[in-house]
Amino acid sequence: MAVPPELAAAELTINLAELVENWRMIARQVAPAECGATIKANGYGCGATEVAQALWTAGCRTFFVALPVEGKQVRDALPEAVIYVLDGLFAGQSDFYIAHGLRPSLVCPEDLHEWADAAGGRHKAAVHIDTGINRLGFDHAQAEALSADADLMRRAGLCLLMSHLASGDDETSPSNANQRDRFAGLRTLFPDLPASLANAPGTFLGPQFSHDLVRPGVALYGGNPLTGKPNPMRSVISLNAPVLQVRDVAAGDGVGYGATWRADRPSRVAIVGVGYADGLLRAMSWPAQQDGPAKVCIAGQMAPIVGRVSMDMITIDVTDLNPEQVRRGTAVELLGKNIGVDDWARWAGTLSYEILTSLGRRYAKVYSS
Protein backbone atom coordinates (compact mmCIF):
# COMPACT_ATOMS: atom_id res chain seq x y z
CA MET A 1 0.00 0.00 0.00
CA ALA A 2 1.36 3.40 -0.97
CA VAL A 3 2.05 5.68 2.00
CA PRO A 4 0.74 9.27 1.64
CA PRO A 5 3.66 11.73 1.97
CA GLU A 6 1.88 13.75 4.66
CA LEU A 7 1.51 10.62 6.81
CA ALA A 8 4.87 8.98 6.15
CA ALA A 9 7.87 8.63 8.41
CA ALA A 10 10.00 10.05 5.60
CA GLU A 11 10.09 10.51 1.85
CA LEU A 12 12.30 8.21 -0.18
CA THR A 13 13.04 9.53 -3.67
CA ILE A 14 14.47 7.26 -6.37
CA ASN A 15 16.01 9.12 -9.28
CA LEU A 16 15.50 6.78 -12.24
CA ALA A 17 17.41 9.07 -14.59
CA GLU A 18 20.55 8.70 -12.46
CA LEU A 19 20.01 4.94 -12.26
CA VAL A 20 19.82 4.78 -16.05
CA GLU A 21 23.02 6.84 -16.34
CA ASN A 22 24.78 4.35 -14.05
CA TRP A 23 23.66 1.51 -16.33
CA ARG A 24 24.76 3.38 -19.44
CA MET A 25 28.18 4.11 -17.95
CA ILE A 26 28.76 0.41 -17.24
CA ALA A 27 27.35 -0.54 -20.66
CA ARG A 28 29.87 1.75 -22.36
CA GLN A 29 32.65 0.39 -20.20
CA VAL A 30 32.04 -3.29 -21.02
CA ALA A 31 31.11 -2.93 -24.71
CA PRO A 32 30.93 -4.98 -26.90
CA ALA A 33 29.67 -7.23 -24.10
CA GLU A 34 25.96 -6.92 -23.32
CA CYS A 35 25.07 -5.12 -20.09
CA GLY A 36 22.18 -6.69 -18.22
CA ALA A 37 20.83 -5.66 -14.83
CA THR A 38 20.34 -7.44 -11.52
CA ILE A 39 17.06 -6.31 -9.96
CA LYS A 40 16.55 -8.89 -7.22
CA ALA A 41 15.28 -7.96 -3.74
CA ASN A 42 12.72 -5.59 -5.24
CA GLY A 43 15.34 -3.78 -7.28
CA TYR A 44 17.65 -3.49 -4.26
CA GLY A 45 14.80 -1.80 -2.41
CA CYS A 46 14.14 0.72 -5.18
CA GLY A 47 11.16 -1.04 -6.78
CA ALA A 48 11.75 -3.85 -9.27
CA THR A 49 8.94 -2.86 -11.63
CA GLU A 50 9.92 0.80 -11.84
CA VAL A 51 13.62 -0.01 -12.19
CA ALA A 52 12.99 -2.66 -14.86
CA GLN A 53 10.79 -0.38 -16.93
CA ALA A 54 13.29 2.49 -16.79
CA LEU A 55 16.19 0.24 -17.81
CA TRP A 56 14.18 -1.40 -20.58
CA THR A 57 13.42 2.02 -22.05
CA ALA A 58 17.16 2.78 -21.89
CA GLY A 59 17.97 -0.38 -23.86
CA CYS A 60 18.56 -3.09 -21.24
CA ARG A 61 17.12 -6.41 -22.39
CA THR A 62 18.39 -9.00 -19.89
CA PHE A 63 17.47 -9.04 -16.21
CA PHE A 64 18.49 -11.18 -13.25
CA VAL A 65 16.40 -11.92 -10.16
CA ALA A 66 16.91 -14.29 -7.25
CA LEU A 67 13.48 -15.88 -6.94
CA PRO A 68 10.89 -17.09 -9.46
CA VAL A 69 8.21 -14.90 -7.88
CA GLU A 70 10.49 -11.91 -8.53
CA GLY A 71 10.80 -13.07 -12.10
CA LYS A 72 7.03 -13.10 -12.53
CA GLN A 73 6.83 -9.54 -11.24
CA VAL A 74 9.33 -8.42 -13.87
CA ARG A 75 7.63 -10.49 -16.57
CA ASP A 76 4.29 -8.80 -15.82
CA ALA A 77 5.98 -5.45 -16.43
CA LEU A 78 8.17 -6.48 -19.39
CA PRO A 79 6.60 -9.17 -21.61
CA GLU A 80 9.59 -9.34 -23.97
CA ALA A 81 12.51 -9.26 -21.52
CA VAL A 82 14.99 -12.08 -20.95
CA ILE A 83 14.78 -12.99 -17.26
CA TYR A 84 17.15 -15.32 -15.41
CA VAL A 85 16.47 -16.72 -11.92
CA LEU A 86 19.79 -16.87 -10.06
CA ASP A 87 18.72 -19.17 -7.24
CA GLY A 88 18.15 -22.01 -9.67
CA LEU A 89 15.15 -24.20 -10.39
CA PHE A 90 12.91 -24.56 -7.35
CA ALA A 91 12.01 -28.23 -6.98
CA GLY A 92 8.75 -29.14 -8.70
CA GLN A 93 8.25 -25.64 -10.13
CA SER A 94 9.29 -26.07 -13.76
CA ASP A 95 5.76 -25.31 -14.94
CA PHE A 96 5.85 -21.93 -13.16
CA TYR A 97 9.11 -20.98 -14.87
CA ILE A 98 7.81 -22.09 -18.26
CA ALA A 99 4.45 -20.34 -17.85
CA HIS A 100 6.18 -17.02 -17.14
CA GLY A 101 9.08 -17.34 -19.54
CA LEU A 102 11.73 -17.52 -16.84
CA ARG A 103 15.16 -19.00 -17.42
CA PRO A 104 16.56 -20.83 -14.38
CA SER A 105 20.25 -20.69 -13.69
CA LEU A 106 20.71 -24.42 -13.17
CA VAL A 107 23.01 -24.93 -10.19
CA CYS A 108 23.21 -28.71 -9.70
CA PRO A 109 22.58 -31.96 -11.58
CA GLU A 110 19.15 -32.31 -9.94
CA ASP A 111 18.14 -28.92 -11.35
CA LEU A 112 19.47 -29.91 -14.74
CA HIS A 113 17.64 -33.22 -15.08
CA GLU A 114 14.33 -31.85 -13.77
CA TRP A 115 14.50 -28.91 -16.18
CA ALA A 116 15.59 -31.04 -19.15
CA ASP A 117 12.62 -33.38 -18.61
CA ALA A 118 10.18 -30.46 -18.37
CA ALA A 119 11.66 -28.19 -21.04
CA GLY A 120 12.42 -30.84 -23.65
CA GLY A 121 14.62 -28.42 -25.57
CA ARG A 122 11.77 -25.92 -25.99
CA HIS A 123 12.73 -23.56 -23.15
CA LYS A 124 16.07 -22.00 -22.28
CA ALA A 125 18.26 -21.98 -19.17
CA ALA A 126 21.69 -20.96 -17.93
CA VAL A 127 24.12 -23.31 -16.24
CA HIS A 128 26.03 -22.00 -13.21
CA ILE A 129 29.52 -23.41 -12.61
CA ASP A 130 31.29 -22.74 -9.31
CA THR A 131 34.81 -21.34 -9.74
CA GLY A 132 35.75 -20.69 -6.13
CA ILE A 133 33.01 -18.99 -4.13
CA ASN A 134 31.68 -22.38 -2.97
CA ARG A 135 28.03 -21.51 -2.96
CA LEU A 136 25.64 -22.49 -5.75
CA GLY A 137 26.94 -24.16 -8.88
CA PHE A 138 28.21 -27.31 -10.57
CA ASP A 139 31.67 -28.41 -9.51
CA HIS A 140 34.34 -29.07 -12.13
CA ALA A 141 33.68 -32.81 -12.40
CA GLN A 142 29.95 -32.24 -12.79
CA ALA A 143 30.62 -29.63 -15.47
CA GLU A 144 32.86 -32.04 -17.39
CA ALA A 145 30.17 -34.74 -17.24
CA LEU A 146 27.57 -32.30 -18.52
CA SER A 147 29.76 -31.11 -21.39
CA ALA A 148 30.06 -34.70 -22.60
CA ASP A 149 26.28 -35.18 -22.81
CA ALA A 150 25.13 -33.24 -25.87
CA ASP A 151 21.58 -34.59 -25.72
CA LEU A 152 21.12 -33.50 -22.10
CA MET A 153 22.41 -30.02 -22.90
CA ARG A 154 20.02 -29.81 -25.86
CA ARG A 155 17.00 -30.89 -23.80
CA ALA A 156 17.96 -28.37 -21.08
CA GLY A 157 18.09 -25.56 -23.64
CA LEU A 158 21.38 -24.25 -22.30
CA CYS A 159 22.06 -20.75 -23.60
CA LEU A 160 24.43 -19.19 -21.04
CA LEU A 161 27.43 -20.27 -18.95
CA MET A 162 27.68 -18.42 -15.63
CA SER A 163 29.89 -18.14 -12.58
CA HIS A 164 30.20 -15.62 -9.73
CA LEU A 165 33.16 -13.72 -8.27
CA ALA A 166 33.87 -14.01 -4.55
CA SER A 167 36.04 -10.88 -4.22
CA GLY A 168 35.30 -8.71 -7.22
CA ASP A 169 35.09 -5.58 -5.06
CA ASP A 170 38.76 -6.03 -4.07
CA GLU A 171 40.88 -5.65 -7.17
CA THR A 172 43.96 -6.75 -5.22
CA SER A 173 42.51 -10.15 -4.31
CA PRO A 174 44.29 -13.06 -6.05
CA SER A 175 40.99 -14.96 -6.11
CA ASN A 176 39.83 -12.76 -9.01
CA ALA A 177 42.57 -13.97 -11.34
CA ASN A 178 42.13 -17.54 -10.07
CA GLN A 179 38.42 -17.50 -10.83
CA ARG A 180 38.97 -15.80 -14.18
CA ASP A 181 41.41 -18.53 -15.22
CA ARG A 182 39.17 -21.35 -13.98
CA PHE A 183 36.25 -19.87 -15.86
CA ALA A 184 38.35 -19.59 -19.01
CA GLY A 185 39.18 -23.29 -18.70
CA LEU A 186 35.54 -24.19 -18.23
CA ARG A 187 34.56 -22.20 -21.30
CA THR A 188 36.57 -24.61 -23.42
CA LEU A 189 34.14 -27.34 -22.33
CA PHE A 190 31.18 -25.28 -23.57
CA PRO A 191 32.56 -23.43 -26.61
CA ASP A 192 29.14 -22.63 -28.04
CA LEU A 193 27.68 -20.99 -24.91
CA PRO A 194 27.86 -17.23 -24.28
CA ALA A 195 29.47 -16.54 -20.91
CA SER A 196 28.82 -14.28 -17.89
CA LEU A 197 31.15 -13.84 -14.92
CA ALA A 198 31.11 -10.18 -13.87
CA ASN A 199 28.74 -8.71 -11.31
CA ALA A 200 28.92 -4.96 -10.55
CA PRO A 201 32.48 -5.00 -9.11
CA GLY A 202 33.65 -7.38 -11.81
CA THR A 203 32.78 -4.87 -14.52
CA PHE A 204 35.64 -2.69 -13.20
CA LEU A 205 38.28 -5.45 -13.34
CA GLY A 206 38.88 -5.18 -17.07
CA PRO A 207 37.75 -6.79 -20.33
CA GLN A 208 38.98 -10.26 -19.33
CA PHE A 209 36.06 -10.39 -16.91
CA SER A 210 33.31 -9.01 -19.15
CA HIS A 211 32.91 -11.93 -21.59
CA ASP A 212 29.55 -11.79 -23.38
CA LEU A 213 27.21 -10.51 -20.68
CA VAL A 214 27.65 -8.63 -17.40
CA ARG A 215 25.08 -8.40 -14.63
CA PRO A 216 25.66 -5.30 -12.45
CA GLY A 217 23.60 -4.86 -9.33
CA VAL A 218 24.49 -2.54 -6.47
CA ALA A 219 26.35 -0.04 -8.67
CA LEU A 220 23.16 0.71 -10.61
CA TYR A 221 21.57 1.95 -7.40
CA GLY A 222 24.47 4.19 -6.41
CA GLY A 223 26.42 1.81 -4.19
CA ASN A 224 30.20 1.87 -4.50
CA PRO A 225 31.41 -1.31 -6.26
CA LEU A 226 35.06 -0.56 -5.39
CA THR A 227 36.35 -1.14 -1.87
CA GLY A 228 38.61 1.65 -0.67
CA LYS A 229 38.22 3.81 -3.78
CA PRO A 230 36.04 6.82 -4.63
CA ASN A 231 32.57 5.87 -5.77
CA PRO A 232 32.30 6.23 -9.59
CA MET A 233 28.51 5.88 -9.56
CA ARG A 234 25.83 8.56 -9.44
CA SER A 235 23.65 8.87 -6.35
CA VAL A 236 20.20 7.41 -6.99
CA ILE A 237 18.28 7.68 -3.75
CA SER A 238 17.54 10.43 -1.25
CA LEU A 239 15.72 10.17 2.06
CA ASN A 240 14.30 13.13 3.94
CA ALA A 241 12.27 13.30 7.15
CA PRO A 242 10.85 16.14 9.24
CA VAL A 243 11.92 17.07 12.76
CA LEU A 244 9.21 15.99 15.21
CA GLN A 245 10.41 18.02 18.17
CA VAL A 246 13.41 20.02 19.43
CA ARG A 247 14.11 19.82 23.15
CA ASP A 248 16.62 21.24 25.61
CA VAL A 249 18.84 18.79 27.47
CA ALA A 250 20.75 19.79 30.60
CA ALA A 251 24.45 19.06 30.95
CA GLY A 252 24.87 15.54 32.32
CA ASP A 253 21.45 14.30 31.18
CA GLY A 254 21.22 11.16 29.05
CA VAL A 255 19.33 10.78 25.78
CA GLY A 256 17.49 7.69 24.58
CA TYR A 257 17.41 4.10 25.80
CA GLY A 258 20.13 3.31 28.29
CA ALA A 259 21.36 6.91 28.30
CA THR A 260 24.31 5.80 26.17
CA TRP A 261 24.99 9.44 25.28
CA ARG A 262 25.06 12.17 27.91
CA ALA A 263 25.22 15.86 27.15
CA ASP A 264 28.57 17.40 28.16
CA ARG A 265 27.03 20.89 27.97
CA PRO A 266 23.54 22.39 27.83
CA SER A 267 22.31 20.99 24.52
CA ARG A 268 19.50 20.96 22.02
CA VAL A 269 18.35 17.64 20.58
CA ALA A 270 16.10 17.16 17.54
CA ILE A 271 13.96 14.02 17.27
CA VAL A 272 13.26 12.46 13.85
CA GLY A 273 10.72 9.67 13.31
CA VAL A 274 12.92 7.16 11.49
CA GLY A 275 14.54 4.15 13.16
CA TYR A 276 15.69 0.61 12.62
CA ALA A 277 12.20 -0.44 11.47
CA ASP A 278 12.87 1.88 8.52
CA GLY A 279 16.35 0.60 7.69
CA LEU A 280 18.43 3.02 9.75
CA LEU A 281 20.31 0.20 11.46
CA ARG A 282 20.73 0.05 15.24
CA ALA A 283 24.48 -0.29 14.69
CA MET A 284 24.46 3.39 13.71
CA SER A 285 23.71 4.31 17.32
CA TRP A 286 26.20 6.61 19.04
CA PRO A 287 29.13 6.47 18.47
CA ALA A 288 28.48 4.14 15.45
CA GLN A 289 30.49 1.11 14.41
CA GLN A 290 33.07 2.73 12.15
CA ASP A 291 34.20 6.32 11.58
CA GLY A 292 31.40 7.56 13.82
CA PRO A 293 29.30 9.22 14.86
CA ALA A 294 26.70 8.75 12.17
CA LYS A 295 25.39 12.06 10.86
CA VAL A 296 22.48 13.74 9.17
CA CYS A 297 22.38 17.00 7.24
CA ILE A 298 20.17 19.92 8.28
CA ALA A 299 20.17 23.23 6.40
CA GLY A 300 23.43 22.25 4.74
CA GLN A 301 25.20 21.43 8.02
CA MET A 302 26.15 18.03 9.39
CA ALA A 303 24.87 17.02 12.82
CA PRO A 304 25.57 13.80 14.77
CA ILE A 305 23.10 11.11 15.74
CA VAL A 306 23.35 10.72 19.52
CA GLY A 307 21.90 8.07 21.81
CA ARG A 308 20.54 4.79 20.49
CA VAL A 309 18.73 4.29 17.24
CA SER A 310 15.35 2.95 18.30
CA MET A 311 12.64 1.26 16.29
CA ASP A 312 10.87 4.47 15.31
CA MET A 313 13.20 7.39 15.95
CA ILE A 314 16.64 8.90 16.22
CA THR A 315 17.94 11.82 18.24
CA ILE A 316 20.30 14.43 16.78
CA ASP A 317 22.55 16.91 18.57
CA VAL A 318 21.73 20.27 16.97
CA THR A 319 23.33 22.49 19.63
CA ASP A 320 25.76 24.00 17.14
CA LEU A 321 23.10 24.78 14.53
CA ASN A 322 21.12 28.00 14.27
CA PRO A 323 17.89 27.50 16.26
CA GLU A 324 16.01 29.33 13.53
CA GLN A 325 17.01 26.58 11.08
CA VAL A 326 15.99 23.61 13.22
CA ARG A 327 12.36 23.56 14.27
CA ARG A 328 9.44 21.17 14.27
CA GLY A 329 8.87 20.30 10.61
CA THR A 330 12.37 21.18 9.41
CA ALA A 331 13.55 18.76 6.69
CA VAL A 332 16.44 16.47 7.64
CA GLU A 333 18.53 14.80 4.94
CA LEU A 334 19.25 11.22 5.96
CA LEU A 335 20.46 10.15 2.52
CA GLY A 336 21.15 12.34 -0.49
CA LYS A 337 23.81 14.58 -1.98
CA ASN A 338 25.66 14.94 1.34
CA ILE A 339 25.21 11.42 2.74
CA GLY A 340 25.36 8.24 0.66
CA VAL A 341 24.38 4.64 1.26
CA ASP A 342 28.06 3.82 1.65
CA ASP A 343 28.29 6.31 4.52
CA TRP A 344 25.46 4.48 6.29
CA ALA A 345 27.17 1.18 5.56
CA ARG A 346 30.46 2.40 7.01
CA TRP A 347 28.84 3.75 10.17
CA ALA A 348 26.90 0.52 10.65
CA GLY A 349 29.87 -1.74 9.86
CA THR A 350 28.09 -3.39 6.94
CA LEU A 351 27.64 -3.13 3.16
CA SER A 352 25.63 -0.81 0.94
CA TYR A 353 23.75 -3.93 -0.25
CA GLU A 354 22.28 -4.38 3.23
CA ILE A 355 21.45 -0.70 3.57
CA LEU A 356 19.59 -0.55 0.25
CA THR A 357 17.61 -3.72 0.83
CA SER A 358 16.72 -2.73 4.41
CA LEU A 359 15.05 0.57 3.57
CA GLY A 360 11.64 0.31 5.18
CA ARG A 361 8.07 0.22 3.93
CA ARG A 362 6.86 3.19 5.95
CA TYR A 363 8.32 5.74 3.58
CA ALA A 364 6.43 7.65 0.93
CA LYS A 365 8.22 6.44 -2.20
CA VAL A 366 8.62 8.98 -4.99
CA TYR A 367 10.15 8.42 -8.44
CA SER A 368 11.85 11.15 -10.40
CA SER A 369 13.36 11.09 -13.88
- Given 72, 84, 257, 337, the catalytic residue: 257
Catalytic status, residue 257: yes
- Given 40, 72, 124, 365, the catalytic residue: 40
Closest CA to 39 of 193, 236, 195: 236
**Structural contact between residues 211 and 31, judged by C-beta atoms closer than 8 angstroms:** no
CA distance 313 to 272: 5
Per-residue CA distances from 309 to 53, 105, 303, 336 (Å):
35, 40, 15, 20
Catalytic status, residue 367: no
Closest CA to 119 of 138, 100, 95, 143: 95
Cis peptide before 287 (omega within 30 of 0): yes
Catalytic residue numbers, as ranges: 40, 257
